[in-house]
Amino acid sequence: MTNLISAEGLKKLCDEYDYLWKVERPKVVQGVSDAAAEGDRSENAEYIYGKKRLREIDRKLKHLGSRLKVLKVATVPANPHQITFGCWVTYEEESGEERCYQLVGPDEIDVSIGRISLDSPVGQALLHKKVDDDVTVRRPGGEMTVYITGISSTRPGV
């Protein structure tokens, strides 16, 4: 798993960690404490749900804490000549359809806004390639060849 992240992505993870630790967890702990004071815990839905939610928060905090320890902030070259972490890559598929994705680490994946993992089959195939390269992507559904038409440090068209 890639341990690279953008400065923006790192800030987002740190903010999430701080929110869970300083706001959400204390609120849930208080709710569990209040529910426990009401008596019989075996039939107390608020207590049972609160304990479950507390376990979820603690699991998320543990995960975020371990990721934050190993993540390294990577910067994208201003004028990249080859595909690296954080680059926006525009390519044309065999069908003629054009796609544009940013290669990011696993902590920033969001396909809905065009961010795919550097570790994915597409990300691995594109890594270190240049404009005008034909690239074969090995996917679970079969191979696909794409033609790289652009590499940028910022999202094209923005």
More confident residue, 91 or 42: 91
Helix axes 45-70, 25-36, angle to 10 degrees: 150
Class level of CATH domain 88-152 = alpha beta
Q: Indicate if the pLDDT at residue 135 is higher than 80.
A: yes
User: Would you kindly state where each structural domain of the chain is located, as residue ranges?
Assistant: 4-73, 88-152
> How many beta carbons lie within 10 A of that of residue 47, not counting itself?
21
Interval 8-37: pLDDT, tens: 999 999 999 999 999 999 999 999 998 888
Closest CA to 129 of 139, 118, 113, 116: 118
Closest CA to 70 of 116, 102, 106, 103: 106
Q: How sure is the predictor about 44, in pLDDT bands with cuts at 50, 70 and 90? A: confident
Closest CA to 80 of 96, 102, 107: 102
Coil, strand or helix at 86: coil
pLDDT above 70 covers what percent of the chain? 99
Instruction: Provide the pLDDT for residue 158.
Output: 66
Q: What distance in Å separates the CA atoms of residue 40 and residue 43, rounded to the nearest whole number?
A: 6
Class level of CATH domain 4-73 = mainly alpha
Least confident of 55-59, 87-91, 136-140: 136-140
Instruction: Provide the pLDDT for residue 79.
Output: 85
Q: Indicate if the pLDDT at residue 63 is higher than 90.
A: yes
Say yes or no: do domains 4-73 and 88-152 share a fold: no
**Identity of the amino acid at 26:** P
